[in-house]
Structure 1
Amino acid sequence: MPDYCVHPCPSFSGACKAIPAVAIEGPRLLLTPFDESITEEESRTLYQYSCVDQDLYRWMRFDPRSGYDVYRNQHLIGRWTRSADRLPFIARDKHTNEIVGINSFMSINGNDKTIEIGHIWTAGPFQGQKVALESTQLLMRYAMDLGFVRIEWRTHHKNVPSQRTAAAAGFTFEGILRKQRFLKGETQNTFSYSVIDDEFDAVRKTIDAVFVTLRPIERRPVPGLTGE
């Protein structure tokens, strides 16, 4: 079972051409970039998990109360697949092909060789199984393979799971951007993290140590979720 490999996606039609669009395979996950070819079924699954069953966008700018049509047309397609500096991925259990979450490259800056990992969530039935951690570490390896020198991670000061994932993935906490933005009726402090190329050999050991501990992904019942 490979712990990391990439597969070209020549049919990718999204606006992001800053880096090659590939499918990234890990111990349990297959990350596939999505574009306007995303099916109705897939986009409804993403909406159900992230905006109906749970508000996984509570720390992000998108307001899930806007409804499914806005989610698909303005958020998934308009904001993500048509953004030149963002490359979003659907995370699937590679053994069952079930959608288990999302992870993304953002703020891709080829001149400075910096890139951000963000807009991450794990579907309720698969939370607590290091899905976000595995997908993040796969993106970290790919970014470093491409020659980026700095990977950034920014998160809401109240988003403790995101802060824990950053630390577990090997990011270094750099500081707090105080009152960095106004989000959903309150002022947000932004926690800033990074990994740089000089330290990635050590971080890679952290990644390898995580990968050998991963167990098969299970669909677990979550009380109150639709269909559970």
Structure 2
Amino acid sequence: MAIREGNPLGPIVSTNLAQRPSQNVRLVGQYVTIVKLSARHADAFYPQISGPENAHLWDYMFDGPYDDPEVFRARLGANEISHDPVFYAIVLNGNDDDIVGIASYLRIEPTHRSIEVGNLMYSAQLQRTPGATEAMYLMARYAFEDLGYRRYEWKCNALNAPSRRAALRLGFTFEGIFRKHLVVKGRNRDTSWYSMVDEEWPAIKRALEAWLDPTNFNGEGRQQKRLEEFR
């Protein structure tokens, strides 16, 4: 904080712009790869996130659930050409059509170098796997190291306990709750806000990479140490 006669002022920062995320970027990990979302992914993904057994996946989403695969395909087609949010498919390594999840960047502010990750939809095949964590690692690394953002946000419905736990586990800091923030599907939504910032990223990155290392998993794929233990 700058000190001068009068009001206190924040520190001077670079006015360089961050870059907008590319729709065609390819982020390759050990378990999953992030690729551009396409309407063609609907055929493989719709069975994983449709039906009564998967209705709960949509409880905190802004859209869905979808009872018609063609309506879902049209939704992915609209997402494919969207520039904010920018949508990606999370695919298993080795097959770009083997989609197991969707993620996006949104609230993209290159001038202020702030960006949010959201619209996460993980199939049962991806949930609670190393690939689920790796997808978030790959997107955070791209935002901080390649695009030049200084603030990375996570927001969720304040009633969404799994999402709130995930944010803290990944290294985000809780910033508070915006009360009566939105009306979603005719219901009130209080929103929990989380962030990580650029100076925190190196330590968060080291913890994520240590947790994702294959030596941290036994022959049955179970973790030896929790992610929090590496921080």
- Partner SS, residue 192 of structure 1: strand
How far off its partner does 1:170 sit?
0.9
- 1:67 alignment counterpart: 68
The 1-side partners of 2:218 and 2:85 are apart by 30
- 2:44 alignment counterpart: 45
The 1-side partners of 2:106 and 2:87 are apart by 8
How far off its partner does 1:143 sit?
0.3
How far off its partner does 1:90 sit?
1.1
* CA 1:71–1:169: 2 relative to 1, 3 Å: same
Which amino acid is the alignment partner of residue 30 of structure 1? T
How far off its partner does 1:156 sit?
1.0
- 1:54 alignment counterpart: 54
- Aligned residue pairs: how many? 196
- 2:8 alignment counterpart: none
Q: Does 1:200 align with 2:201?
A: yes
Q: TM-score, normalised on structure 2?
A: 0.76
Contact 1:28–1:216 under 8 Å retained in 2: no
* CA 1:67–1:105: 2 relative to 1, 3 Å: same
Moved over 4 A (4+): 214-218
Contact 1:30–1:91 under 8 Å retained in 2: yes
Which amino acid is the alignment partner of residue 186 of structure 2? G
Q: Does 1:76 align with 2:76?
A: yes
- 2:5 alignment counterpart: none
Which has the greater radius of gyration? 2
Gaps of 5+ in 2: 1-18, 222-231
How far off its partner does 1:86 sit?
2.1
- 1:10 alignment counterpart: none
- 1:93 alignment counterpart: 92
How far off its partner does 1:18 sit?
2.8
- 2:141 alignment counterpart: 141
Q: Does 1:122 align with 2:122?
A: yes
Contact 2:130–2:212 under 8 Å retained in 1: no
The 1-side partners of 2:87 and 2:93 are apart by 17
* CA 1:77–1:48: 2 relative to 1, 3 Å: same
Contact 2:50–2:67 under 8 Å retained in 1: no
The 1-side partners of 2:219 and 2:165 are apart by 21
- 1:33 alignment counterpart: 36
The 1-side partners of 2:107 and 2:42 are apart by 23
Contact 1:114–1:149 under 8 Å retained in 2: yes
How far off its partner does 1:31 sit?
1.1
How far off its partner does 1:25 sit?
0.8
Question: RMSD between aligned alpha carbons?
Answer: 2.3
Which aligned pairs between 1:137-216 and structure 2 lie closer than 5 A?
A: 137-145=137-145, 146-212=147-213, 213=216
Which range is displaced more, 63-72 or 80-89? 63-72
Contact 2:36–2:80 under 8 Å retained in 1: no
How far off its partner does 1:139 sit?
0.1
How far off its partner does 1:96 sit?
6.1
Q: Does 1:18 align with 2:20?
A: yes
Which range is displaced more, 105-114 or 92-101? 92-101
The 1-side partners of 2:217 and 2:45 are apart by 24
Gaps of 5+ in 1: 1-16, 219-228
Question: For 1:183-207, what per-residue CA distance to the aligned partner results, in whole angstroms no more than 9, with x for missing partners?
Answer: 2232111111001112111211221
Contact 2:35–2:88 under 8 Å retained in 1: yes
Contact 2:31–2:130 under 8 Å retained in 1: no
Q: Identity of counterpart residues, as a percentage?
A: 28
Which amino acid is the alignment partner of residue 142 of structure 1? Y
